[in-house]
């Protein structure tokens, strides 16, 4: 049912961590990341060049979701947490992780269907960690043949990185096109956009 909801252009939320109820959201205007317009600011470029971090994919999915929910106000309740763990186990949910000195300091997770990636939430416990996660995620999506990166809503933070807002009808048309295509999240770029190791899910 959850995958059918994404395919129909809607997604679930809860009022809070302790509220067991889930409701469906279908925004009139949708946030999306044009994959060819991700903006690397001068400060983020310096952070990338400075290094001192490692990027991983799909090695600590539950920890990323838990960290995203670890805030005063969250829409991730226990039911939603369990649902996304099930999607991850089924190969439909993925995450990008930022590690420093063996500690998870940032990340973003979402759901894949066809050539669409539905971004759900992100967190940061170190300067620019969520931006780093997004940068490597965008690179991975490009390499894998994705054509739609749905951010659900547009925030000032996402707008500063190149995200835009489009009407619901435009989003639905782009979604239908993306669902008719195939993409591979595990495909890595032959020449990664950024010089950092990118290990994926261990075997």
In this structure, is residue 195 part of a structural domain? no
* Domain, as residue range, for 89: 2-6+31-179
Which one-letter DSSP state was computed for residue 16? S
Q: Which pLDDT band holds residue 187 (cuts at 50, 70, 90)? A: confident
In this structure, is residue 187 part of a structural domain? no
Could you tell me the CATH number of the domain that includes residue 134?
Answer: 3.40.630.70
Please give the sequence-ordered ranges of beta strands (E in DSSP) within the chain, or none if there are none: 11-13, 23-25, 29-32, 54-57, 93-100, 103-113, 116-124, 148-152, 164-167
In this structure, is residue 197 part of a structural domain? no
In this structure, is residue 19 part of a structural domain? no
pTM: predicted TM-score of the whole model, two decimal places: 0.91
In this structure, is residue 21 part of a structural domain? no
- pLDDT tens for each residue of 69-108: 998 889 899 999 999 999 999 999 999 999 999 999 999 9
Rounded to 10 degrees, the C-alpha dihedral 195/38/199/150 comes to 180
In this structure, is residue 157 part of a structural domain? yes
pLDDT of residue 192: 53
In this structure, is residue 13 part of a structural domain? no
For the chain, what is the radius of gyration of the CA atoms? 16
In this structure, is residue 200 part of a structural domain? no
How many domains are contained in the chain? 1
């Amino acid at each position: 049912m959850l995958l059918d909801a994404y395919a129909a252009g809607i997604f679930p939320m809860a009022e809070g961590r302790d509220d067991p109820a889930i409701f469906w959201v279908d925004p009139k205007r949708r946030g999306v990341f044009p994959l060819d317009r991700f903006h690397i600011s001068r400060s983020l470029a310096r952070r990338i060049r400075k290094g001192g971090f490692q990027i991983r994919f799909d090695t600590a999915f539950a920890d990323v979701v838990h960290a995203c929910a670890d805030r005063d106000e969250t829409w991730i309740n226990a039911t939603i947490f369990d649902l996304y763990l099930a999607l991850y186990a089924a190969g439909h949910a993925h995450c990008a992780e930022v590690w420093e000195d063996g500690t998870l300091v940032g990340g973003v997770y979402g759901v894949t269907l066809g050539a669409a990636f539905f971004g759900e939430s992100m967190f940061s416990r170190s300067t620019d960690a969520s931006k780093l996660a997004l940068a490597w995620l965008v690179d991975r999506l490009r390499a894998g043949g994705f054509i739609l990166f749905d951010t659900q809503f547009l925030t000032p933070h996402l707008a500063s990185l190149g995200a835009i807002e489009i009407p619901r009808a435009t989003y639905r048309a782009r979604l239908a096109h993306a669902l008719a295509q195939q993409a591979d999240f595990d495909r890595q770029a032959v020449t990664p956009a950024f010089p950092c190791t990118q290990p994926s899910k261990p075997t």
